[in-house]
Amino acid sequence: MRKALSGADLAKGVCLAQLAIAGTVALVAALVWGRPQAIAALYGGAVALVPTAYFALRVFRRRADETPDEIVGAIFRGEIGKFALTAVMFGLGVKVFAAQFPALLAAYTACLLAYWIVMARVGFGGTDATG
């Protein structure tokens, strides 16, 4: 049986996938390179997760009486905020984790795969989940 997923459900799936990926990359970094790289990897995961969650909250927190213009405005404001958060967090990450930046970047990049993982799970043709 297939059930329809809302955009908020998909966003929640992406955030959960990013959290799992960040944890996995941090664990591998801890086992292979040590604690400082693991912390940097966790931060890299946060650089992906926090802006994604911000965007989802801005876009999917709607009132029933919103106009299409208000919805599009929320999407644009959410995307601008997402870019700004990403830039600020990366800037801070470069300063704080300069020596461990490859671990930060690896976790961030891996977390971007969450979008593809969630889309592959629900199918590229729509928002139906496979049971």
**Per residue in 102-113, pLDDT tens?**
999 999 999 999
Is 122 within the bounds of a domain? no
**Among 35, 29, 55, 54, CA closest to 108:** 29
The four Cα atoms 120, 71, 45, 118 give a dihedral, to 10 degrees, of -10
Q: Is the pLDDT of residue 128 over 70?
A: no
User: The whole model's pTM is what?
Assistant: 0.84
> So what's the pLDDT on residue 2?
55
Is 128 within the bounds of a domain? no
Is 41 within the bounds of a domain? yes
> So what's the pLDDT on residue 66?
86
What's the domain range around 58?
Answer: 3-117
pLDDT more than 70, % of the chain: 89
Is 131 within the bounds of a domain? no
The per-residue pLDDT for range 42-54, each reduced to its tens digit, is 999 999 999 999 9
Is 34 within the bounds of a domain? yes
Count the domains in the chain.
1
